[in-house]
Amino acid sequence: MKIVSFLFVLVSCIYISEAQQTLPACSSVITRPEVRSMSQTQWTTLGRTLARMRDAGWFAWFSRIHATNFGSIHGNGMFFPFHRLMVQDFERVGRAFSASFVVPYWDSARDYVAPHNSVVLTSRWVGGNGVADTRCVIDGIQANWRLTYPNSHCLRRRYNAGTRINSWYSPEYLLSRLLRDTTIATLRPDIEYSIHGAVHLGLGGDMTTGDASNDFVFYMHHANIDRLWWKWQRTNNRMWTMDGPGPNGISNLTINNQITYYNQPIRNVMQLGFGNMCFTYADSAPLAGNAAPSAASTSSTTSLAVASAPAPADTSDSSESLAASSVESSLPSDLLTQFFPGTTSSAPSNSLSRRQTKKVTKVMPLPSMMPASFIRMHKYDYEDVKAHYKEACNFVEALNGCGYEPVYV
């Protein structure tokens, strides 16, 4: 009986490996840029396309999809694959209106200290806080928009600290989680409870409802969440890692489970550059540690699939890249081992003691705890959220306590 079970598992594994190869490589790949790298002409063209999509009913369409499936796509492993496919689907529709349309990502960790001061939240880009009692957004790419789902209303934002936004999560913290987490079961809450929730809560208004995708920031934000997942996938050969609880009572997701609403297997979205996932990011470089196999690595079927993926258009100034350089040059080996496995200290042995003798003027602010109303809305476990928040605060206090000066302050 044990032999039969073993053979069944072996055959299943072979089937999965072969299934990973069935999707064709994309003939061309879109590169999603960081929003601040777009020219004014590109941004204006994008705005015109968004208005056409709104008028044709597509904002209402996607907001309805997100709202009606809300309980199945948050708080479990479906979070990553569903949102990857939803953003790609939105982008696909946009390209039917304009061949140059692309969803940029917002590297929001660059703005984590005082998000309300971000250039992204100005009239040049997405606009700022809602005004008066209506909280209507009157500037930026969606200035004075009227939306139709779930009813006729203006696009609304209400910053969570009045005219300010509470601090988000630093690139150092996100880098640490991406390096420390080895499963989706650990990565998903570490991302969903931190930067994901913080940006939604910070902007407020529509972004704190089930129809958050009424706000185009939703797509830029989830493109960034997807970029972080993709970087994690490309590190230490995690390309096909899918595990942990899923929706509807699924105890352990696999790449063969169906994506909520879209009714296609998760494996179809696992690798960018294949099938319909014909996009990458301006920064998708693997993190520290063992990167995904190179073209020369052909020892297994999975490695072959990874090796044939299109080369990313990497940059060196993403918040994670800057954080990695900073911690490697500033932190002692014991803290690097604890918080940033796979990195190597280049700091002089006495650098920290010298820093501790001077007054440190740049410190990492603590993030804010997710409010109970937001936890209930997503049906998160309150104690689980609180434990993750405490761990994030401990991380900040540990780095501040040793005299570390963060990348962005």
pTM score, whole prediction:
0.89
Phi, psi of 30 (to 5 degrees): -80, 140
For range 378-392, the mean pLDDT: 98
Q: What Cα–Cα distance (Å) separates residue 255 from each residue in 43, 82, 112, 155?
A: 36, 12, 33, 36
Give the pLDDT band (50/70/90) at residue 311. very low
CA 26 to chain centre: 23
pLDDT digits (tens, 9 = 90+) for 104-125: 999 999 999 999 999 999 999 9
Residue 343: its pLDDT value, please? 86
pLDDT at position 285 over 90: no
Residue 350: its pLDDT value, please? 52
For range 82-103, the mean pLDDT: 98
Residue 288: its pLDDT value, please? 64
Lowest mean pLDDT among 304-313, 328-337, 393-402: 304-313
pLDDT digits (tens, 9 = 90+) for 237-252: 899 999 999 999 999 9
Phi, psi of 330 (to 5 degrees): -120, -30
Give the pLDDT band (50/70/90) at residue 216. very high
pLDDT at position 13 over 80: no
Instruction: For residue 30, list its beta bridge partners.
Output: 279
For range 258-271, the mean pLDDT: 97
Residue pair 143/150 in contact (Cβ under 8 Å)? The answer is no
pLDDT digits (tens, 9 = 90+) for 16-48: 444 455 799 999 999 999 999 999 999 999 999
Residue pair 256/246 in contact (Cβ under 8 Å)? The answer is no
Summary mean pLDDT of the chain: 88
Residue 59: its pLDDT value, please? 98
Residue pair 159/129 in contact (Cβ under 8 Å)? The answer is yes
Domains along the chain with CATH numbers? 19-401 (1.10.1280.10)
Residue 102: its pLDDT value, please? 98
Residue 345: its pLDDT value, please? 76
Which tokens go with 286? 């693997």
Contacts for 166 with CB less than 8 Å, ≥ 6 apart: 160, 198, 201, 202, 367, 368
Phi, psi of 390 (to 5 degrees): -60, -40
Exposure b/e, 301-334, CB count within 10 A at least 16 = b: bbbbbbeebbebeeeeebbbbbbbebbbebbeee
Give the pLDDT band (50/70/90) at residue 409. confident
Encoded amino acid at 215, one letter:
D
The candidate with the shortest Cα–Cα distance to 217, out of 103, 139, 370, 132, is 103
Q: According to the 3-state scheme, what is the secondary structure of the chain?
A: CHHHHHHHHHHHHHHHHHHCCCCCECCCCEEECEHHHCCHHHHHHHHHHHHHHHHCCHHHHHHHHHHHCHHHCCCCCCHHHHHHHHHHHHHHHHHHHCCCCCCCECCHHHHCCCHHHCHHHCCCCCCCCCECCCCECCCCCCCCCEECCCCCEECECCCCECCECCCCCCHHHHHHHHHHCCCHHHHHHHHHHHHHHHHHHHHCHHHHCCCHHHCCHHHHHHHHHHHHHHHHHCECCCCCCCCCCCCCCCCCCCCCCECCCCCCEHHHHCCCCECCCCEEECCCCCCCCCECCCCCCCCCHHHHHHHCCCCCCCCCCCHHHHHHHHHHHHCCHHHHHHHCCCCCCCCCCCHHHHHHCCCCCCCCCCCCCCCHHHHHHHCCCHHHHHHHHHHHHHHHHHHHHCCCCCCCC
Which tokens go with 2? 């044990």
Residue pair 181/190 in contact (Cβ under 8 Å)? The answer is yes
pLDDT digits (tens, 9 = 90+) for 322-365: 999 999 999 988 999 999 998 887 766 555 544 454 566 789 99
What is the percent of the chain with per-residue pLDDT over 70, rounded to a whole number? 84
Residue 296: its pLDDT value, please? 29
The candidate with the shortest Cα–Cα distance to 170, out of 396, 403, 400, is 396
